[in-house]
Amino acid sequence: MIRLLAVLALLLVAQPAQAHKLKLFVTQEGAEISGKAYFAGGGAAIGIEGQVLDSQGQTIARLQTDAEGRFRYTPPSDAPVRIQFESGDGHMAEAAIGQISRPPSPSVASDVDLETAIARQLTPLKEQLDRMESRARLSDIVGGIGLIIGLFGAYAWVVSRRGKTS
């Protein structure tokens, strides 16, 4: 009986393993789309193939990540696209890019330069935040252990009460 309840408690707190979950970070600078494919925990997805899909789901370009898991692509039009990467073991990540914003006329080039400089500065921070959100935190682990101990304590209390009534 104790074993059955212990297994049941573990099943209640068990979550899907995400050690190899593929994640995708995508950003846009002017007309260029760039990003990084990586696994949960931060490991780069090196040399995996991806594709760029149009709004109808048709492949319009193929991509491949470099030695750091990064990729770049400049779409031929301003139409929205989806970028999709798949690792060889069946994990897939996808990101949608809305209307592509092309650089405006040279009369406002200084604003574009400033916008591009800000985007370059923010991209590493966005990547770091995205990686941090995908990691298991110590509080998550301690909370899970606390839940298991609490369930076991509740079971022990029920068993002890059963012994006093009979």
Whether 76 and 120 map to the same domain: the answer is yes
DSSP conformation class of 46: T
Whether 91 and 77 map to the same domain: the answer is yes
Query: What is the secondary structure of 65-96 as a DSSP string?
Result: --TTSEEEE--SSSS-EEEEEE-TTS-EEEEE
Whether 69 and 123 map to the same domain: the answer is yes
| Kind plus residue range of the DSSP H or E element containing 24 | strand 22-29
Q: What is the mean pLDDT of residues 88-107?
A: 74
Whether 83 and 151 map to the same domain: the answer is no
Whether the predicted pLDDT of 20 surpasses 50 = yes
Whether 53 and 108 map to the same domain: the answer is yes
Whether 105 and 35 map to the same domain: the answer is yes
Residues 6+ apart with CB under 8 A from 118: none
Whether 53 and 130 map to the same domain: the answer is yes
How many CB atoms neighbour CB 156 within 10 A?
12
Q: What is the mean pLDDT of residues 127-135?
A: 69
Whether 52 and 108 map to the same domain: the answer is yes
Confidence of residue 22 (pLDDT cuts 50, 70, 90): confident
The pLDDT value recorded for residue 43 is 83
Whether 102 and 159 map to the same domain: the answer is no
Whether 47 and 114 map to the same domain: the answer is yes
CA gap 131, 135 in Å, rounded: 7
Which domain, by its residues, includes 154?
2-15+139-165
Tokens of 83: 């970028």
When divided into structural domains, the chain yields a total of 2
pLDDT tens per residue across span 37-50 = 988 777 888 999 99
135: nearest Cα among 45, 42, 46, 70: 42
The pLDDT value recorded for residue 64 is 95
Tokens of 25: 């970070």
Whether the predicted pLDDT of 109 surpasses 70 = no
More confident residue, 151 or 127: 151
In CATH, what number is assigned to the domain containing residue 79? 2.60.40.10
Whether 46 and 8 map to the same domain: the answer is no
The pLDDT value recorded for residue 18 is 47
Whether the predicted pLDDT of 107 surpasses 60 = no
